Structure 1
Amino acid sequence: MKKIRRISTLLILLILISTGCGSKSPAVAINEEGYKLYISGDYQGALEKYNEAITADSSYSTAYANRGMIHFYLGKYEEALADMNKAIEVNPKDPVAYSNRGYFQLAMGQVNEALKNLDEAIALKKNFDDKQLLALTYVTQGSAYGMIGAFEKGIASFDEALAINKNDKTFYNAKGILLKDWEKYDEAIEAYNEAITIDQSYAYAYGNRGFVFFIKEEYTKALADVDTAIEIDASIPQVYNTKALIHSAIGEKDTAIEIYDYMITRWPHYNDAYIGRGNEYLLKEDFARALTDFSVAASNGNLDAMVQKGYLHMTLEQYEDGLQAFKQYNEVKPNNYLVLVEIGNGYQQLSQYEESITYYDQAIEIDPQHYLAYYSKGLSLKYQEKYEEALDMMNLVLTKHDLEEAKKEIEWIEKKRKG
């Protein structure tokens, strides 16, 4: 049985597509033709073949699974999910169908749902005809665990994958990424070393190892690794981004900006380049250019850029614009504690104190142990001359954090009450 291999990226989100097995029925034969077109990069042609396979045999689950992944490649996400669901409906014992759906949900940010499907795929592991596909399912599971901070479980998943195939460089690369996120930097470097030992021309491992050296402030090693990665494969924008960060860290800000300029010319839709260049302009206090770059990335839907844009507007006392940026973020990704506090702060600066308290209360509900929302709420109460409530709030701050500003506010309020 042939399977379409997953394609690993620097972020190690891996795709797995089943292409079926069994006797050469017309549907199976057409499905294999679709596979060949997929391998050649002709997704539209592959899609047409999978349509033909389904017409030939509407109960052939593999064709639905494959068509679903082609829809995913083409950005047709509703159609992709519908086909994945159909594949499981037709054959609920196909582990690859669950693995594909798990990958899809992971890519859509639905991590918990993804894990349920990946668990289901692994529960059916005896049904994997190709054990490499089982290994890839473990890798996707490990990446999913990493996204929710379940690092130990993630490492266990990667080790399961490596137990199946200890010679797959992408598995070590994926494990290194999770170890980096876990802040186990030396172990991450060891994982990247293993990947490079397997393939000394593996650009992603050099680039990722270089990023860890950057985090460790070992800039000479970091720069050597990213330069090696670029020499091997000059088509990976993330590596250029790391190179720019390194030059910025060693004080070569203009060089960093030149790298970002090159990236934006070559990859005009790569948001991190706009954010990186915007940050460099921000350090130079070139606020207009910084705001332009953040705005471009934000208009492309980048959440980090929305936050950066919001902070910059607030710094420039452009509170209504700042509120718009933070609220745009909140619509896409609600319940971010710090963003809710910033929205509250924006309303506070506009003297809309009751509205500010609404957002502070939302933040407190999300994290009742963090002091910041209590402190900001206390200020809004103080500005409304609700001194008793403000005093209670500042005292509550001190039960969470020994904040000097809260002590000063308590002193001021007590003097005000006495006098």
Structure 2
Amino acid sequence: MKLRYSMVLLSLGLVVGTLPMAGYAQTAPADAEIVETEVVEPEIPDAALPETNLPGPEPEVEDPGLSATAAYNLGVERYNSGDYDAALEAFDLALEKDPGFANAYLYRGVIYADRADYDQALVDLNQALAIDPGNANALFARGSVYYRQGDSSRAQADFNAALETDPDAVGAYLYRGLIDAQQGRHDLAIEDFSTAIELNPADPAAYVLRGFSLENIDNYSDAIADFSRALDINSDLPKAYMGRGVAYYHLGLFDAALSDLNEAVSRDSTLAKAYLNRSHVYFRQGRPSRALQDLDRAIELNPDLTEAYMSRGTIHTDQGNLQAAEQDFARVLRLNPDSAMAYKLKGDALLKADDPVGAIADYTEALFLDPNYVEAYQARGNARRSIGDTFGAIDDYSQALAVQPASLEAIAARGAAYLEVNQMQNAYQDLTQAILNAPNVGRPELFYNRGIVRARLGDDAGARRDFEQAAQLYLQQGEAAGYRQTLNQMSQL
């Protein structure tokens, strides 16, 4: 006899982000980028829910009238037919006749849990376990109630105990893996999901859950295989299409990603995160209007979906709709006042709106919340340079490099800042390191700035080589102004 329990999934919500514009002789801004965040997903579709065995009817003995066993069996029959009110009455009668009937408490607790009456469910499940401490079904049921209440520690303890009693309890492996996944222990989660698959290879839930954990450790190819296997078993799993679409996206397979995300929303038009994820595919395809439509729909479906506001705000920033961008980031901060990313993105919008002082305040708030936020240090440094606080900018770039020594953006920007304050040796060292760190990036401003440094240090031959390299790159990239500026510098050697 089977009972279905609700599961919660992890997915990837992808947030679009841009870096602020740099000034003269600074490193070029990065193109709009995708920033990954973990997002809790709603329930997995019913067709893929994990199941647990519940006890069946008890053998009856001769007894005048309705015995406890007969009442219990009647309750089981009514439960299986979906008449839960009548089932409760029968289990109540069974317990009235035999207060030590553990499985009657179990069934009654499960019914209360399905009705979200978790306090009463725990009363009955605790009683079942007081009578029969090794009842694996009761341990699993109680663990699922703790999980729904957000008490992961107690839930995991119950799932562990259930597995000690019944090592083949597939649902316990799935829930335990899910808890590990939500707490970032994806390797442990994958082990449990894999065990569940070994025990029941026909259960699509295990493949979907393992697929999401594989995505979280950037193993997109294996994630695609798991989502595909789940869909082979049951083709009507919108979240499996969504998960596979996200994996295709990360591999740069945007057409395949779009196809799967289209399938997800066609099968479940209320799946807010499918619209959110599809918006990022549209954005990468250069279709911002489509992306905004999807983000509007995601927000309509889930007004508390912070990732959608951040993505929409960033696109508004990119398009110059700065008031709308600030409104979106402000909405994120009302929903989550501790979002360092929202402060950083709001700062980007303010900087683009020629409010560097306001931007600096937001970047500072982001860094208060996350002292290791490299992009916020870089952005604040850019804002400080824009108001003439070059030494403050150098300090910010240095802070970014202390966190991430290989940051091309930070070391290139610091090199340009050193050039502005005539610290030529420091500028030369930083710009040379930036060029060595990214020999194939094609950043003409790096060679241009180093050319100026070499010229001021008296190395005309080295300066000419750098200017020639910069001119070639500017020409290849169709940047006429940079090309002419470089030729002008060469003419002065």
TM-score in terms of structure 1 length:
0.68
1:332 pairs with 2:335: no
Amino acid at match of 2:452: L
Q: 2:490 — aligned with what?
A: 410
Amino acid at match of 1:42: D
Taking CA–CA contacts closer than 8 Å with sequence separation of 6 or more, which of the two structures ends up with the larger relative contact order? Answer: 2
Once residues 322 and 233 of structure 1 are traced to their aligned partners in structure 2, the CA distance between those partners, rounded to angstroms, is: 39
Instruction: Return the offset for 1:299.
Output: 2.8
From 16, 34, 40, the counterpart of 2:143: 34
Change (3 A) 1:379 1:50: farther
Q: 1:385 — aligned with what?
A: 458
1:6 pairs with 2:9: yes
Gaps of 5+ in 2: 15-36, 42-49, 54-131, 476-481
From 190, 195, 200, the counterpart of 2:259: 190
CA deviations over 1:131-174 (Å, ceiling 9, x no partner): 5323433454356558xxx8x88756654554344322222223
SS in 2 for 1:234: coil
Amino acid at match of 1:336: S
Q: 2:374 — aligned with what?
A: 303
Instruction: Return the offset for 1:292.
Output: 1.1
What value does the CA root-mean-square deviation take over the aligned residues?
4.6
Change (3 A) 1:387 1:220: closer
Contact persistence 2:11–2:38 (CA under 8 A): yes
1:262 pairs with 2:316: no
Once residues 441 and 213 of structure 2 are traced to their aligned partners in structure 1, the CA distance between those partners, rounded to angstroms, is: 33
Amino acid at match of 1:6: L
Change (3 A) 1:318 1:218: same
Q: 1:133 — aligned with what?
A: 206
SS in 1 for 2:9: coil
Contact persistence 1:21–1:28 (CA under 8 A): no
Contact persistence 1:370–1:400 (CA under 8 A): no
Instruction: Return the offset for 1:236.
Output: 0.5
Change (3 A) 1:365 1:213: closer
1:369 pairs with 2:449: no
SS in 1 for 2:492: helix
Amino acid at match of 1:234: P
Once residues 439 and 414 of structure 2 are traced to their aligned partners in structure 1, the CA distance between those partners, rounded to angstroms, is: 18
Larger Rg: 2
Amino acid at match of 1:259: D
CA deviations over 1:260-281 (Å, ceiling 9, x no partner): 3233222212234323322332
Contact persistence 1:375–1:406 (CA under 8 A): yes
Instruction: Return the offset for 1:13.
Output: 5.0
Amino acid at match of 1:409: Q
From 269, 293, 305, the counterpart of 2:362: 293
CA deviations over 1:180-214 (Å, ceiling 9, x no partner): 55666555443222111221211112233345556
**Greater share of residues in strand:** 2
Change (3 A) 1:183 1:371: closer
1:283 pairs with 2:352: yes
SS in 2 for 1:335: coil
Contact persistence 2:415–2:430 (CA under 8 A): yes
Change (3 A) 1:370 1:192: closer
Amino acid at match of 1:199: D
Q: 2:152 — aligned with what?
A: 43
Q: 1:228 — aligned with what?
A: 297
Once residues 177 and 229 of structure 2 are traced to their aligned partners in structure 1, the CA distance between those partners, rounded to angstroms, is: 27
Contact persistence 2:295–2:312 (CA under 8 A): yes
Change (3 A) 1:183 1:29: closer
Amino acid at match of 1:10: G
Change (3 A) 1:397 1:288: closer
Once residues 235 and 174 of structure 2 are traced to their aligned partners in structure 1, the CA distance between those partners, rounded to angstroms, is: 28
Amino acid at match of 1:382: A
CA deviations over 1:255-303 (Å, ceiling 9, x no partner): 3323332332222122343233223322321111111112222332333
TM-score in terms of structure 2 length:
0.59
Aligned residues: 368
Q: 1:106 — aligned with what?
A: none
Matched-pair identity in %: 20
Once residues 440 and 450 of structure 2 are traced to their aligned partners in structure 1, the CA distance between those partners, rounded to angstroms, is: 14
Once residues 288 and 239 of structure 1 are traced to their aligned partners in structure 2, the CA distance between those partners, rounded to angstroms, is: 27
Once residues 233 and 350 of structure 1 are traced to their aligned partners in structure 2, the CA distance between those partners, rounded to angstroms, is: 50
Change (3 A) 1:251 1:322: closer
Contact persistence 2:356–2:384 (CA under 8 A): no
From 170, 176, 181, the counterpart of 2:245: 176
Amino acid at match of 1:231: E
Once residues 44 and 339 of structure 1 are traced to their aligned partners in structure 2, the CA distance between those partners, rounded to angstroms, is: 41
Once residues 271 and 343 of structure 1 are traced to their aligned partners in structure 2, the CA distance between those partners, rounded to angstroms, is: 23
CA deviations over 1:286-335 (Å, ceiling 9, x no partner): 11111111222233233332322222222223222222322333233332
Amino acid at match of 2:492: W
1:354 pairs with 2:418: no
SS in 2 for 1:6: strand
Change (3 A) 1:27 1:407: farther
